[in-house]
Amino acid sequence: MRRRLTGGPAGGRTGGRTGGLTRRLPEAWRQPLAIVGGVVAFAWIVIALAAPVLAPHDPLAQELPRLAPPGPGHWFGTDQLGRDILSRVLYGARVSIPLTLLLVVLSVLIGGLLGACAGYFGRWVDETIMRLADLVFAFPTIILAMVVAAALGASLGNAVIAVLIVAWPAYARVTRGLVLGIREREFVLSGRLLGFSAWRSLRVDVLPNVTGPVLVLATLDIGTALLLLSGLSFLGLGAKPPSPEWGAMVASGVEVFDSWWVATFPGLAILTVVLAFNFLGDTLRDALDPRTARAIKERAI
């Protein structure tokens, strides 16, 4: 019963030049950026899982000399309270990465479901949901997130809710557009005529044909979500001290500007995670978009 409109990973397994592991990967994933992104993202996930083993110090212990520059014993230096920045950055991965992933998954679920309903049922359902989305779109993202976070009170949980509120409409809009294009297709109509319920029709006929683009959007969005979350913490609306959250760490580093290491390393952590997931998102897009298939073939390693 599966009827995909877009093909699977473009190119298949034909263009491989070297044997072994690389040949088993589709070409789209053999781009330099894809490999860098994949490796960095994987590394961060390992760090998040293994932080207690990897960190040389307790991230909350104020036992080292204050504002010591990077050197033996504290490779990323120490902050104004004498805490080891390396350990804090490693533990920070446990705070930021799971929350960001959770946030994106929730936005995809909520936004996707609402968008699919809007596109599939049309009429007043469509009008209500899409006007609501327009309402959110009308505000600058970070400002609206700040307002919501400030109204709910400062905490990481509330920051996630705030970002969720500003993030779902993007998915709703994309999903709606895709569903609109598909719902009049023969196979969907015939499914309905065979007596499928709306829910089954959405799940079996529509869903497989819209997942690709939404997945690309979601992967690209991981970076944005992390930036927004850290941004809220930077402004004091997210993580509560002394939690080692990257945005909050950058904020504390701004106060001691001379000690560049306090803000730089958490900043680099944010940068690498955002870049890694953006590379992955780009790769995914290239892989799912038949129009870029030829360019991929030229660049594949």
Partner 1 sequence: MALRSRRRRATTALLPVVLTGALALAACSSGGSSATQGQSSAGKTLVIDTSFDLKTADPGRTYEPTGLVVDKATYDTLLTFEGADVTKPVPSLAESYEMSSDGKELTLKLRKDATFADGTPVTADDVLFSLTRVRDMKGTPSFLLDGVEVAKTDDSTITLTSKAPNPALPYILPNPALGILNSKVAKENGATENADDKAEQYLNSASAGSGPYTLESFNVSSQVVLKKNDKYWGAKKPVYDKVVIRNVESATQKLNVQRGDSQVALNLSGDQVAGMGGGLQVKRTTSAYVFFLLANQDPGVSKITSNPKFVEALRKGVDYTGLLELAGEGSTQAAGIIPSMFLGALPADQATQRDVEGAKAALKESGVANPTVKLEYPSELTVNGLSFQPLAERIQANLKEIGITVELTPAPVTTALDNYRNGKEELGLWYWGPDFPDPSNYLSFLPGKLVGLRAGWKAGADKELEAAGEKAAASVTDEDRKQAYTDVQTKLNASGPFIPLIQPGQNIVTAGSVTGLEYHPVWTINVADLGAK
Residue ranges in contact with partner 1 by CB under 8 A = 60, 62, 66-67, 80-81, 154, 236, 240-242, 252, 255-259, 292, 294-295, 298-299
**Nearest residue (CB) to partner 1, 177 versus 242:** 242
For residue 292, the minimal CB distance to partner 1 (Å) is: 7
Could you tell me if 202 and 120 are in contact, meaning their C-beta atoms sit under 8 angstroms apart? yes
**Nearest residue (CB) to partner 1, 126 versus 289:** 289
**Nearest residue (CB) to partner 1, 124 versus 257:** 257
Distance CA 153, CA 166 (A): 17
Cβ contacts of 293 within 8 Å, gap of 6 or more: 10, 11
Angle 276-274-227 from CA coordinates, rounded to 5°: 170
**Nearest residue (CB) to partner 1, 172 versus 251:** 251
**Nearest residue (CB) to partner 1, 95 versus 114:** 95
For residue 81, the minimal CB distance to partner 1 (Å) is: 5
Q: Taking the CB of residue 195, how many other CB atoms lie within 10 A of it? A: 8
In 3D space, the residue among 198, 203, 209, 141 whose CA is nearest the CA of residue 169 turns out to be: 141
For residue 148, the minimal CB distance to partner 1 (Å) is: 16
Length of the chain: 301
For residue 289, the minimal CB distance to partner 1 (Å) is: 12
For residue 74, the minimal CB distance to partner 1 (Å) is: 17
Sign of CA dihedral 200, 169, 274, 231: negative
SS3 84: strand
